[in-house]
Structure 1
Amino acid sequence: MRYFELLSTIFNILLLGWVIFARNTPQRGLLIGSGISIILELVHGLAEGMRWQMIPIYAMTLVPIVMFTLRRFFKPKEVKKKASQIRAVLIASLAVFYSVIAVALPIVLPVFTFENPTGPYKIGTVTYDWKDDQREETFTADPGDKRELMVQIWYPADSQSKGKVAPYISDADVFADGYSKILNMPKLLFTTFGHVKTHAIENAEISKQEPTYPVLLFSHGFSGHKNQNTFQIEQLVSQGYIVVGIDHTYSSTASVFADGRVAHYVPQDTNSGDYLDQANDGWVEDAKFVLDQVEKLAQNDPEHRFTGRIDMQNVGIFGHSFGGATSTQMLMTDSRIKAAINMDGVLYGKLRIPAGGLKKPFLMMSADDSLNSVHNMPDKEMAKMMEGLFARYEQVAEGGNYWMKINEMNHMGFTDLYLFLPVYERMAGVDVRKVHRLINDYSLDFFNHYLKHRPLKLLEQNIGDHPGFTLQKG
């Protein structure tokens, strides 16, 4: 809520309470109170602009004016009677209003839960603060700054593991502030996920059920964060994968380093294809550096958790939006990456998918809303740019790869966002729980085949059109 909106709201609520519950409100007080309320709303309207959501607050200004008018034109006994009736109506209205709010708020702003993972493994998690001494940090003014990344690893845990359950967001206030600024919405809307728990146990023992586990990197989208696909990460880990989530510093919602320093999101030219092609190089370097660090853990983990337990011969990557583009570029440029999933990411980066396809396993997932957006853009220059970018999709499914186009889906449906903002889900027309299950089922089928060498159960059997999606194979 903006400053004068908040000021006007607080004053009007206090004024209404005074009018309703005070036994003798002086005429002068009613006029002064109403006058101050009107001035606050005029200032709010001029400085910030009025909006329909504030109509109930604006209407409160009329209450003292009505009371003043009654006293001015009616006899004392009539005034007393009418005032009593008005108070009764106002109190009843407030009771109804309170009841509606009391019921609506938990529904609109829920403390949501993630669905129980279906795999046989429990989930452990640990977080790292890694600095790349070989790279300068280009988003800060200090030439001595080095690129620093917060990384969270989720892994199959021992079935007897017990301990503290990891919160969804460990620095809830920082992230609520970040979401508020990025989405230009009240911070209050994002405070609930500070209470959300996951299924991961902090610092749990890694499961001994398998000698090693394949590893998957996860790359978020612009202004996203390493936890933003917890719905998907937990499912993959429960099925026997180690997942490594990267916060791309200054391009994430926020990065909170081990010593408490915070790197906030830095706005960038996300409307320029040329800029984003160049920016993707930095994200690819982030992913390669993190994979280097994971290799070191696999060889000699100082905490002895991952030593000899990470299968570096079977490495995959998946990402959303700009992280999806990063996943595609990593598949083309890093020989360690055996398979990749791009979730609704425009194919930014320096390399293009060649004729004949990538020659490595690849699954593209797209929202129908994203694919159709170019036809609905009022800005002709932007539409022209997007048409050029979408031309890069021509070889996506060539060479035996897959392209899934999900119906009644939009860009943010690939993340956790709609779980803590259900009103967005309703507005977008996305059945987020259903769509998340679809994403999880096909992600798991894909990685199980190409990293665990198991038969495909879904991808080959469902080529073609379906009520919820279309699956294409080159």
Structure 2
Amino acid sequence: MKRTTTFAIALITSLTIVACGSSTTSSPDTDPGDTAVTTDPTTTVAPTTIPDAATMAALYTEAGPYPVGVTSLELAAGNKVEVWYPAIEGTTGTDIYDMRDFIPEAISALLTADVPAVYEYPAGRDAGAATGTFPVVLFSHGASGIRFQSTFLTSHLASWGIIVASPDHWSRDLFHTLSAPVGDRNSSVTELLETLDLVTAENVRPGSRLEGMVDAERVVAMGHSAGGGTILGAALDDRIDGYISLASGALGMGGDSSAAPALPNKPSFFIAGALDGIISAEEATRPSFEAVPGPSRLWIIDGVGHNGFDDFCTFGNGSGIIGVAIASGLGPLLESLGGLKRLGEDGCL
């Protein structure tokens, strides 16, 4: 998939740099090729040549060397946390999630069994973990999102040797958006940091699937849309080495422009879609990049809208989850929910 390749080269390169505790130099806006070509500091003699962007991209076109495992954990408050991780050799299988499981029952009951609401991807549910220790990415979903929302990306990162942990944020996830939100802007930051506490505890718990594989010294926070506000708050924690903002910027933790947290002085990477009609790349993302005190990168991708960073546009043969909902007779409900329809279809066909 083209977008997997595009994001993987940028994210894996930046994660390698940020999670290893090294730094990059501040730079003006670059194209994807320039952004991806970054020298990783090393204790040995540096190579005389740096692979060009096309060569590096080819390395990450396919899934990485690890099969992918996925498991579900739970925070003390009850929030589910999905974790993708490098699995043992020979792991196979297909994992799925069904959007009907993330909406109130009264709405789900209106959908027929044949509604295309299922997303499939290669991963072994509760598979054994690969040997070794691996860096951690904490993923924060956007408004009306779910912890699975960017599985195309989170599972791909796991195949390249990264543990990705993604909690449901009850203050803004899809279920609670359609019912009654629980918590406030600050609670999403707490949930993300508690997710780090959780995987760190699983690392030392005998019999845990994550036992002995979590490198808690290499941690990056990554957030989409409103999640971009959450990671700014989380990255103020000393355990977070850097952060990656997707279709976001210096937003309030709830996804608006108020009460934006301080921009952390840590390595960062801001990525946005040039066609984003929800959070403007030029009015929100670029100013955040320019204001960040630490080393940073900016990449504005042509032809990409707000949902180019999640799975949602792939449902219904490209019509997206909003198209599926409308085809199922939920158009009037969507219209009654203010900007939810616009949010869910931005960047889809």
Give TM-score, length-normalised by structure 2.
0.64
Work out whether 1:160 is the aligned partner of 2:90. yes
Q: Which residue of 2 aligns with 1:4?
A: none
| 2-structure distance, mates of 1:238, 1:423 | 28
- Tell me what 1:423 maps to: 319
2: CA distance, partners of 1:177 / 1:411: 24
Name the CA shift for 1:418/1:399 in 2 (closer, same or farther; >3 Å).
same
Deviation at 1:216, TM superposition (A): 0.8
TM-fit CA distance, 1:250 = 5.0
> 2:122: which partner in 1?
199
Q: CA deviation at 1:345?
A: 2.0
Change in CA separation of 1:362 and 1:177 when aligned onto 2, cut-off 3 Å = same
Query: Who is 1:227 aligned against?
Result: 148
Pair 1:309–1:342, CA change in 2 (3 A): same
Task: Output the CA distance in 2 between the equivalents of 1:252 and 1:153.
Answer: 17
The one of 412, 418, 425 equivalent to 2:307 is 412
Match for 2:214: what amino acid? I
Report the CA distance shift for 1:304/1:404 in structure 2 as closer, same or farther (over 3 A).
same
Q: Deviations over 1:285-340 (max 9, x none)?
A: 1111111111111122x423222211010011111111121112211x21111121
Counterpart of 1:335 in structure 2 is 238
2:178 corresponds to 1:253: no
Match of 2:7 in 1: none
Unaligned runs of 5+ in 2: 1-59, 254-258, 324-341
- Give the Cα separation in 2 of the matches to 1:223 and 1:168: 16
Shift in Å, 1:420: 0.8
Deviation, structure 1 residue 413: 1.6
Among candidates 296, 299, 304, match of residue 208 of structure 2? 304
* Structure 1: runs of 5 or more not aligned: 1-114, 132-146, 255-262, 269-277, 376-385, 433-474
Rate the CA distance shift 1:151–1:399 in 2: closer, same or farther, 3 A. closer
Contact 2:67 2:88 in 1 (8 A): yes
Call closer, same or farther: CA 1:242–1:390 in 2, change over 3 Å: closer
| Sequence identity (%) | 24
How far, CA to CA, are the matches of 2:134 and 2:223 in structure 1?
20
RMSD over equivalenced CA pairs, Å: 3.7
> Which residue identity does 1:420 align to in structure 2?
F
> Any residues of structure 2 matched to 1:150-189 within 5 Å, and which?
150-162=80-92, 165-169=94-98, 172-175=99-102, 187=111
- 3-state SS of paired residue (1:226): coil
The CA distance in 1 between the partners of 2:307 and 2:106, in whole Å, is 14
Give the corresponding residue for 1:344: 247
TM-score, length of structure 1 as denominator length: 0.48
The secondary structure found in structure 2 opposite 1:148 is coil
**Partner of residue 279 from structure 1, selected from 184, 198, 208:** 184
Structure 1 residues 149 and 367, CA gap change in structure 2 (3 angstroms): same
Deviations 1:29-50 (A, max 9, x none): xxxxxxxxxxxxxxxxxxxxxx
**Structure with the larger helix share:** 1
Superposition deviation, residue 404 in structure 1: 1.2
Number of aligned positions between the proteins: 260
Residue matched to 1:122: 67
